[in-house]
Structure 1
Amino acid sequence: MKTSLKRFFAGVAAAAMAVGGLALGATSAQAAGPVASTQTGSLTVKAANGTTGHTLKAYLVAAYNSDYQAASDGSLNFDTFKYVVTKDNGTKSNDESAVKAALTDAGVKASASGSASSAAEEGLRQLTGQSAGTPFGYTDGTATASAAERKFADALAKKLTATDSTKWTPSNVQDLTPGDGKFTADLNPEGLYLVVDTYAQKDGSKSTQSVPMLVGTKFANAAITTQPAGVGEVDMKNVTVPVHKEVVTDNTGKAANNTPSYNIGDTVYFHLSTTIPDYSGYAADPTLSDPTGKTIRQLNLDDEFEAGKFTGTKVVSVKDATTAIGDQQGVLENGKDYDVTGEDTDTVTVDLKRLVNGADGAKTGWKTGDVIDVIVSGVLSADATTTDKANTDAADKTGADSNGNSNKVTLNYSNNPKDNSQQNKVPGDTVNVYSFNLNVHKVNQDNNPLGGAEFKIVDKADEATPLQFTVSGSTYTHAKKDTDGAIETLKSGADGSIAVKGLKAGTYVVTETKAPAGFFQGALPSYTVTIAEHYTNDKTNTTRTSTKSGDDWLDTLTYSNTPDNYGLVTKDATSPSTWTVKNVKSITQLPKTGAAGIAFFSVIGVAVVALAALFAVRARKASRLA
């Protein structure tokens, strides 16, 4: 976006190219009374930030003279080039007076003998492109024009909407046609034009309104085979501001989390990022007191959690990650550099207008394009969505996943240099986090539902600490240890079911600790369940360039188990997350294979040995009696 002002003002410093060179021979040419060209010149405005919502109109400032010539090498002979301030159908309009007044406002004091147009033409010659060091012609990030061309373009554009005698009613207004990343027009006559953008926010429009552009058309004379560099082309003077979001592993935001599954009750961290827009041409109000908001620069992020899925939402940190301002390497302060609203609700807002307006106490030294990093967090709630399968219906794997819990960000920033209260509302990335189910179906030997069986579940990574749950009926939802009413024993309902919700991916040990009354307590099964996840990274999220962003869509989810010792546990054929667990009333009902069979025959063996010993004792007694 940083370009030289000569390219920016392609009308004065491209159509005219070296204005200082134009002064050569100007006196004699002016006395001759130049005649305006009647040829058509082409003009292209390159819109790298898109054409959606933008309408461009070109207002003729001055025509080229009709008798300019080509040099021997096919380039423009600058000595023969002149400006001709236009007349309306051969009679004077207010074009020349508007141009002259705008030149005066820009600090260009031209005097020439003859008509007002002569003075205006002479003033246009005196404009130079050497006074600007920024792409828009303003002191960086301010509304203060630093270049004569910028001052002139703004002053002339202001006269279009004036409500007094200074209003400019141009005699020649033409529309530019939007196309593929550009606006084009064939303008008659060829000459110097003021191009003004109007902007209406629409779906898909993300860029700001362009500041006025002063640009000259290409030279129509076929003898000019080498057009001056940049003539007839200009980059649209507006900006877009990126906004991104990702799930991160902790409150530092340094590492993306590309396996975003969580236990219910876990704290989830999200990283938001945007940049400080180029506020060149935008007023600033350090007092933040303008009731209309027209002078107050706007920049805020709305972080929206899926309704009801998170609790304890808050802003963890905000920093300028590009410029180390203040004493803490870019760390910004709540209440001084920004304001936070909506914590503990579904939408948390970080408003940075204090920083970008230079409010009292706000840090200084930030620059256009500085990256603003925000970390927000929320606790995955007991009402979060849990799943036991991936969503295979969505082909694009972007946006909110109905099987997950989503979080999205929206950026709002001023888009109209005439009115800061008008804002772009730019949707950013939507990211998902997931939590999973694990179910038990308890039955007797005849596969009838069995209530009253008790279980405990541990994470294989910490087998000494049973997981805790809150309970509603036969549904058990994972809970932190300090949660009121949390228990570690799960009991099957009358229908034999235990529904466990809210587990992250991992390996869990499920152990029956107590069989219902009347059932054998000596063979209680224990088995492991592994929940394995796989994700597709959302490639539309460019938060990180060298690694995947923390924006992932669950594409596969698998459950597997290891057998129990007694052969009493089988995987349910209709539910991926459910295991059927049997109880038996006696050891004789245990399956006769594997470990269970060994256990059974071991018991029989002990009984046989005991009987043999008994018979031996009796036999010895009998022999003594004989």
Structure 2
Amino acid sequence: MKSSIRRFLSGVAAAAIALSGLALGVGSAQAETIEYPGTITVTASNGTAGHTLTAYKIAAYNSGEYAATDGKLDTSTFKYIVDKSDESAIETALDATSIKATASGTLTKAEEGLKQLSVDSSPATYGYLEGTDTKTSDERKFADKLASLKSSTWTPSYSKELTADTNTKTFTATLPEGLYLILDTYTSGQDAANSTQSVPMIVGTTFANTAITDPGDVGKVTLKDTTAPITKEVVTKNSTAQDNDPSSFTTNNDPSYNTTDTVYFKLTTTIPNYDGYAWDPTLNNPKATRQLSIVDTFEAGKFTDQTVVSVYDTTKSQQLTVKSDFTTSAESTTSSATDLNKLTIDFERLVNKAQADTSKNLGQAWDGWESGDTITVIVSGKLSTAATTTTKGSSPAGTGADSLGNNNTVRLEYSNNPSDTSSKTTVQGPIVNVYTHEFTIHKVNAAGGNLQGATFQVSTGGTPLKFTKDTTDGAYVVDKDSSTTDLVSDSNGLIKVKGLKASKDGVTYTVKETKVPDTYLRAVAPTYTVTLKDTFGNDYTNPARSGTATKAGDDWLTDLSYTYDTTQDVYKLVTASTNDTSAPTGDTATVKNVTSITQLPKTGAAGIAMFTIIGVAVIAVAALFAVRARKAAQRA
């Protein structure tokens, strides 16, 4: 309110302060009034989407009869003319202020009162005590009262809807020059509109008198709405962190995990500007209870153990307390397209400065916050053993949900109508993805036939991983809570290993055959390693990328590579396929078992090893015959 009043009064309204006006009777002036055109331009910094603005005439300028001095309005020649049908409403609105106007000479009470509206001296935004609906200026009191009359008893003599321009983010209208009340009707929408309904505004049109060449900012005003962002990114908890303060978490641009790992997400918003909004510390009046909540949604079935880790007003370095400043709730369903795993953090108690309720174990809400404070929430979830696994990436990087990953999204809901706090704007936030991977062991015999019953272990850093078996596809999935370390090939000779972490520097897994099927040689059972290395591309559209941050923790997997080391496999039993004897390069390794040394490959180190074994055997047999021959000669 302050900006609109100040801008207008700098040219027009200031001229009405302590003016006597022209010596014309009201009736005569209205009868002879000629309407001259003026314009109003409203700048919508947060966009025009969802807003419909209508201008309602309060009073006309005096029919172009005012004059200019040095290009500026000659205030001694200016006054307002109020239409008879509008007088009662304007007088009632003036009575809500500290202005004590009476009819004087040719001027009505309404016209005298409008002259006394002064430049807004309130330091608070929009003319309210900051963060409240307490009015601190006569202009704000007048505008709000007149708006309430428009909703109930006042039918203005003239009105016109302004035209929106989405490209320039402005509303404009050409209409009879005068002073107008601008009211906003707002409809929210997840994609188009991220704003609130403007508080009532008063603005005067531009001057029709072309002799006024220096009109100032007359005819211009900024929409008195507000917006709140919601950002989201994947983060990692620092190993040295002592607590769950958001500063203990850093952006993670390599979001690759083992299944059953805990994944952390950081959600960030700001407390909206609640100037002009009522609040109810008892939370009993829905239309006077401010709303603010974050709804975090994990992809259905892909995460478990969703938890709110910490909540802070990071502007004030204040940790917020559950059941005093906010409440949480979770919802899970498994119904086809409506699958939800929602975690709601509701700040209704905070923004209404709620009272304590010992009967419900609810504490007094902290009241030290201010509009614009940053609220940071850390949430976590375990990557489920049912998570989507992948053997490849997408190129180029995309935005939104990646079908190869496991996604998590967020939305913000907050009051958008000063007259009805239960009406909410919903802001859809970014979708971020996390990934986990897989590889396959294909167990075959020397002829390339599928081999069932071979047992393997997979380890990292010398520690065998634990697995649970997927009842759907029979795959072995990493599960820290399991006790199973043995993986056994099925009737197709396959062992699918899922839920594996990769990294940009590579994560190395050692694959060791620990038990061969009956009749197969245990002594030549192979061991090899496979290293999973990933590459990511950042989603630069994520609003978490701001300030000095060049990247958000929102990355798409663009490449996944498999590098094998078969140094320990001296018999060359680990190959790319049954038909390709080279080392594997993709996500599947073929691993042979043999029943005799004659089935070992006969080239390279394996061939040398085989012939060494045969040579040793021949020497042993020769030595045996020599011993027997010597003994026979001695008996003879």
Shared fold (TM-score, shorter chain, > 0.5): yes
2:573 corresponds in structure 1 to 568
Encode CA deviations 1:515-552: one digit per residue, 9 max, x unaligned: 11111111111111111111111111121432411111
* Secondary structure in structure 2 of the residue aligned to 1:430: strand
2:256 corresponds in structure 1 to 261
Within 1, Cα distance between the matches of 2:262 and 2:347? 25
2:466 corresponds in structure 1 to 468
Q: 1:39-118 to 2 correspondence within 5 Å?
A: 39-65=36-62, 66-72=64-70, 74-85=71-82, 87=83, 92-93=84-85, 95-114=86-105, 118=108
Superposition CA RMSD, Å: 2.4
* Secondary structure in structure 1 of the residue aligned to 2:179: strand
Encode CA deviations 1:52-101: one digit per residue, 9 max, x unaligned: 111110011111122222222x233333322222x2xxxx31x1221122
Within 2, Cα distance between the matches of 1:312 and 1:537? 27
Is the Cα contact below 8 Å between 2:397 and 2:537 reproduced in 1?
A: no
Shift of 1:615: 6.5
Encode CA deviations 1:315-374: one digit per residue, 9 max, x unaligned: 1111101013xxxxx101111001111178811111101010011211111010101111
1:448 corresponds in structure 2 to 449
* Secondary structure in structure 2 of the residue aligned to 1:475: coil
Q: 1:134-533 to 2 correspondence within 5 Å?
A: 134-162=124-152, 167-179=153-165, 180-202=167-189, 203-228=191-216, 230-250=217-237, 252-253=245-246, 254-290=249-285, 293-324=286-317, 330-342=318-330, 346-360=341-355, 361-392=364-395, 397-459=398-460, 462-463=461-462, 465-472=463-470, 475-483=474-482, 486-505=483-502, 506-533=507-534
User: Structure 1 residues 180-189 or 203-212, which shifts more?
Assistant: 180-189
Shift of 1:583: 0.9
Q: How many residues align?
A: 592
Is the Cα contact below 8 Å between 2:3 and 2:126 reproduced in 1?
A: no
Structure 1 residues 509 and 249 mapped into 2: Cα distance closer, same or farther (>3 Å)? same
Is the Cα contact below 8 Å between 1:312 and 1:343 reproduced in 2?
A: no
Encode CA deviations 1:251-292: one digit per residue, 9 max, x unaligned: 5542011111111111111111111000011100000112xx
Shift of 1:402: 1.3
Opposite residue 138 of structure 2, the aligned amino acid is A
Structure 2 residue corresponding to 1:13, chosen from 9, 15, 18: 9
2:358 corresponds in structure 1 to none
Within 2, Cα distance between the matches of 1:442 and 1:6? 77
Is the Cα contact below 8 Å between 1:334 and 1:340 reproduced in 2?
A: yes
Structure 1 residues 365 and 490 mapped into 2: Cα distance closer, same or farther (>3 Å)? same
Within 1, Cα distance between the matches of 2:608 and 2:23? 115
Within 2, Cα distance between the matches of 1:199 and 1:498? 58
User: Structure 1 residues 33-42 or 526-535, which shifts more?
Assistant: 33-42
Q: TM-score, normalised by structure 2?
A: 0.88
Opposite residue 261 of structure 1, the aligned amino acid is S
* Secondary structure in structure 2 of the residue aligned to 1:231: coil
Query: What are structure 2's unaligned runs of at least 5 residues?
Result: 238-243, 334-340, 356-363
State the identity %: 50
Query: What are structure 1's unaligned runs of at least 5 residues?
Result: 325-329
Q: 1:571-610 to 2 correspondence within 5 Å?
A: 571-572=576-577, 576-610=586-620
Opposite residue 482 of structure 1, the aligned amino acid is D
1:327 corresponds in structure 2 to none
Within 2, Cα distance between the matches of 1:129 and 1:620? 128
Shift of 1:560: 2.1
2:557 corresponds in structure 1 to 554
Within 2, Cα distance between the matches of 1:10 and 1:372? 32
Structure 1 residues 187 and 472 mapped into 2: Cα distance closer, same or farther (>3 Å)? closer
Is the Cα contact below 8 Å between 2:470 and 2:477 reproduced in 1?
A: no
Structure 1 residues 616 and 28 mapped into 2: Cα distance closer, same or farther (>3 Å)? closer
Encode CA deviations 1:492-520: one digit per residue, 9 max, x unaligned: 11110111111111211111112111111
Shift of 1:226: 2.1
Opposite residue 397 of structure 1, the aligned amino acid is G
Structure 1 residues 622 and 370 mapped into 2: Cα distance closer, same or farther (>3 Å)? same
* Secondary structure in structure 1 of the residue aligned to 2:529: strand
Encode CA deviations 1:98-148: one digit per residue, 9 max, x unaligned: 112211112211123246x52222211211224211231111111111121
Within 2, Cα distance between the matches of 1:175 and 1:103? 25
Is the Cα contact below 8 Å between 1:10 and 1:215 reproduced in 2?
A: no
Encode CA deviations 1:148-205: one digit per residue, 9 max, x unaligned: 111111111110112xxxx111001011001024344343321111100001223411
Q: 1:537-548 to 2 correspondence within 5 Å?
A: 537-545=538-546, 546-548=549-551
* Secondary structure in structure 2 of the residue aligned to 1:152: helix
Structure 1 residues 623 and 575 mapped into 2: Cα distance closer, same or farther (>3 Å)? closer
Within 2, Cα distance between the matches of 1:443 and 1:57? 78
